[in-house]
A and B are shown apart, each in its own frame.
Chain A
Amino acid sequence: QQPVQSPQAVILREGEDAVINCSSSKALYSVHWYRQKHGEAPVFLMILLKGGEQKGHEKISASFNEKKQQSSLYLTASQLSYSGTYFCGTESNDYKLSFGAGTTVTVRA
């Protein structure tokens, strides 16, 4: 089953913050976050393992609440380069990565 991402799309001005949510109906072992720019391959951002840890990548960080089977990606002080579609991939006991439908982020000057 695919995880559910929200919102579907968000438009930001440079310097603004945004949160992207990812939730699953299944118990999760890990959550993976990727960003894909138009016409390019998805690029790995970070992986969060069971344990509620938070990770960061420049000004992009994420949290994982395993009890709620949810993860959130935080875009802080957004830059033009943050534009793209963000996907969460969730791994449960079938060891397959299931991806959400994606959240399109547009950062404007």
Chain B
Amino acid sequence: KAGVTQTPRYLIKTRGQQVTLSCSPISGHRSVSWYQQTPGQGLQFLFEYFSETQRNKGNFPGRFSGRQFSNSRSEMNVSTLELGDSALYLCASSLGQPSGDTQYFGPGTRLTVL
């Protein structure tokens, strides 16, 4: 099976711009979770989508949003970029079981905000 794919792998943006990141899950997986990884904060949960609905949400401002399509592919959008948004954004896919669900991570998108 092909793994989780994320595009683009690298992005450079300037403050105030917006960005959209894409994640294609493993075939058959219906849940996609997004995480922000920074050296100081580690892996921080952004949100989870299951069957096109946001099922869970972390503690991030409304500038961070996402959506999921009927084929389970997901996009994450960050508006009005700030310098502190520079990070590795990882998505993880899973079957979507309510608990004990194994997540498989994609390679990430490295976002740099100048």
* Residues of chain A whose beta carbon lies under 8 Å from any beta carbon of chain B: 2, 29-30, 32, 34, 40-44, 47, 49, 87, 89, 91, 94-102
* Residues of chain B whose beta carbon lies under 8 Å from any beta carbon of chain A: 4, 33, 35, 42-45, 48, 55-56, 58, 90, 98-100, 102-108
Across-interface contacts of A98 in B (CB, < 8 A): 45
Q: Are B108 and A47 in contact (CB under 8 A)?
A: no
Contact A87-B100, Cβ < 8 Å, known A41-B108, A95-B56:
no
> How many residue pairs at the A-B interface have CB separations less than 8 Å?
54
Bound: A34/B43 CA distance, A: 12
Q: Are A87 and B102 in contact (CB under 8 A)?
A: no
Query: Which of A43, A87, A97 has the most CB atoms of chain B within a 10 A radius of its CB?
Result: A97
Q: Are B106 and A41 in contact (CB under 8 A)?
A: yes
Give me 23 A-to-B residue pairs in the complex whose CB atoms sit less than 8 angstroms apart, sorted by A's number.
Answer: A30-B99, A30-B100, A41-B105, A41-B108, A44-B103, A44-B105, A47-B100, A49-B100, A87-B43, A89-B43, A91-B100, A94-B56, A95-B55, A95-B98, A95-B99, A96-B45, A96-B56, A97-B33, A97-B45, A97-B103, A99-B35, A99-B44, A100-B42
Across-interface contacts of A96 in B (CB, < 8 A): 45, 48, 56, 58
Question: Closest CB-CB distance, A56 to chain B, in whole Å?
Answer: 16
Question: Closest CB-CB distance, A103 to chain B, in whole Å?
Answer: 11
- Which of A29, A32, A49, A101 has a CB less than 8 Å from the CB of B103? A32
Q: Are B100 and A40 in contact (CB under 8 A)?
A: no
Q: Are A29 and B42 in contact (CB under 8 A)?
A: no
